[in-house]
């Protein structure tokens, strides 16, 4: 399993520092960003995949739970707050855990362990199936992994391109990536996931799949070694 990409949204410098220290002690966590407010975090969500969000509730500008409600495909969320009265609302939003400040490292480790187990379960399920169902208008359509050429992000939608068709479904690239087996698919750009076994040729800038040239993002050059 790849590392869990996480970010912190916390306006208190000391609380942010404690979280950063805890995260650095957990080998399977990869801290991608640490933000003082939700506005900056929104920009990160638009440009990078996030598996786990550590979210304070009392933030400047936009409150934590309000921010969470704006996310169309939220990642796993662990609430970090000094206020217990928001616990019910948090769980109604399907947060993984609710950490009351101040919390010890052992309690933190228990919370992130839940996230890791959930992600491993999803990945195991993806590896045992050879298809996924996607929502197309008012029905679910089965798409076999063997038919997929690549997947392209289009804002709140993704386009799944197969050998003889294409489908547009309302889901984030990050969310659908978690449903795909790592052995068959790799993200090569913030907007593209490819079926690695479908690649016909590549250079340092693009890969070619069934006549389509797909760009390789600067942060994904290491994927070339897997082709």
Tell me: do 72 and 103 sit in the same domain.
yes
Tell me: do 94 and 168 sit in the same domain.
no
Question: Which CATH number characterizes residue 31's domain?
Answer: 3.40.50.2300
Tell me: do 139 and 153 sit in the same domain.
yes
Tell me: do 156 and 65 sit in the same domain.
no
Question: Which CATH number characterizes residue 212's domain?
Answer: 2.40.50.1020
Tell me: do 113 and 160 sit in the same domain.
no
- Which of 78, 101, 126 is the C-terminal boundary of a domain? 126
Tell me: do 10 and 101 sit in the same domain.
yes
Tell me: do 25 and 69 sit in the same domain.
yes
Least confident stretch, 49-63, 87-101, 104-118, 156-170: 87-101
Range of the domain at 19: 4-126
pLDDT at 126: 64
pLDDT at 185: 92
- Which of 109, 126, 143 is the C-terminal boundary of a domain? 126
Distance CA 145, CA 206 (A): 22
pLDDT at 221: 82
Total structural domains in the chain? 2
- Which of 79, 105, 126 is the C-terminal boundary of a domain? 126
Tell me: do 155 and 212 sit in the same domain.
yes
pLDDT digits (tens, 9 = 90+) for 15-40: 999 999 999 999 999 999 999 988 88
pLDDT digits (tens, 9 = 90+) for 76-104: 999 998 877 766 776 677 888 999 999 99
This model's pTM is above 0.85: no
Higher pLDDT, 226 or 6: 6
Tell me: do 190 and 96 sit in the same domain.
no
Tell me: do 14 and 88 sit in the same domain.
yes
Tell me: do 58 and 103 sit in the same domain.
yes
Tell me: do 90 and 28 sit in the same domain.
yes
């Amino acid at each position: 399993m790849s590392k869990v990409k996480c970010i912190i949204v916390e306006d208190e410098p000391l609380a942010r520092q404690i979280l950063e220290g805890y995260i650095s002690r957990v080998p399977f966590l990869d801290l991608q960003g640490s933000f003082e407010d939700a506005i900056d975090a929104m920009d990160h969500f638009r440009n990078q995949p996030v598996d786990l969000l550590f979210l304070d509730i009392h933030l400047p500008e936009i409150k934590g739970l309000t921010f969470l409600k704006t996310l169309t495909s939220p990642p796993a969320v662990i609430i970090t707050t000094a206020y217990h009265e928001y616990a019910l609302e948090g769980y109604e939003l399907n947060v993984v855990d609710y950490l009351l400040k101040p919390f010890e490292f052992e309690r933190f480790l228990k919370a992130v362990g839940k996230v890791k187990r959930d992600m491993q379960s999803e990945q195991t399920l993806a590896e045992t199936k050879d298809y996924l169902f996607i929502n197309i208008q008012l029905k679910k359509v089965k798409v076999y992994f063997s038919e997929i050429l690549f997947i392209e992000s289009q804002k709140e939608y993704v386009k799944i391109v197969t050998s003889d068709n294409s489908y547009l479904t309302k889901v984030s690239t990050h969310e659908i990536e978690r449903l795909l087996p790592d052995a068959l698919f790799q993200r090569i750009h913030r907007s593209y996931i490819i079926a690695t076994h479908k690649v016909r040729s590549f250079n340092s800038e693009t890969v070619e799949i069934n006549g389509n040239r797909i760009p390789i993002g600067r942060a994904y050059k290491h994927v070339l070694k897997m082709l």
